[in-house]
Amino acid sequence: MPKIYTPEEKDNIRSALKREAGKCLALYGVRKTTVDELVKRTAIPKGTFYLFYESKEALFFDLLSSFADEIESEYLAMLQEIDENHIVTSLTEIFYTLLIKFYDEGLYRFLDGAELELVLRRLPKDSLPDLRTRMEEIVKNLFSYFYIDDKDDIKAFGAGYEALMYLLLSADKLREKEKALRLLVRGLVLQMVE
């Protein structure tokens, strides 16, 4: 008889699986991460994994969706609390922190189309358009905070930030990665607030 988990245990297992999926994603990528590795890292039976996710790809998609949720809740809230006297420094820190979180959780790997393709092949076909639309809406909300209404400007700033994210694919090759990324984020922020 399968074990019955309390709601708190379910939340803890789901959180642990997402945390470890992010670590595995950063270390190995989607292809080399196995369900066996994930259950070993989270110390749960393999059958329990399948109570939560039908596949590792579904877990990775949930990880990406959770990141979008977090951006909406935490980072938009951070923008509302910004120090108006130090706007460039504050914005640089917010956007830099978001960029590093994207890197640390291994999500930058999805910028490689092959990795994202591996995840999406086992999900409903409408998942990607929904996620893209949602991410575009989040970017629009982030930049509309700065009263940037022009759609072309929003697209340009979004593309600029996306270009920074693509640098993460080679971040391990950057000398003084933190300084370089922070400088590039600051340059984008300066363009936004001018």
Ramachandran angles phi, psi of 53, nearest 5°: -140, 140
**Domain range for 92:** 55-193
> CB 140: neighbour CB atoms within 10 A?
16
Q: Is residue 125 part of a domain?
A: yes
Q: Give the domain CATH number at 59.
A: 1.10.357
pLDDT tier, 34 (very low <50, low <70, confident <90, very high otherwise): very high
| pLDDT of amino acid 146 | 62
| pLDDT of amino acid 143 | 67
Task: Work out the angle at residue 128's Cα, subtended by the Cα atoms of residues 36 and 25, and round it to the nearest 5 degrees.
Answer: 30
Q: Is residue 9 part of a domain?
A: no
CA distance 76 to 144: 11
- Mean pLDDT, residues 171-186: 89
Query: What's the total number of domains in the chain?
Result: 1
Q: Is residue 99 part of a domain?
A: yes
| pLDDT of amino acid 17 | 97
Q: How far apart are the first and last CA of the chain?
A: 63
Q: How far is CA 38 from CA 59, 91, 173, in A?
A: 10, 36, 28
Residue 144 has pLDDT above 80, yes or no: no
Q: Is residue 165 part of a domain?
A: yes
- Mean pLDDT, residues 105-125: 78
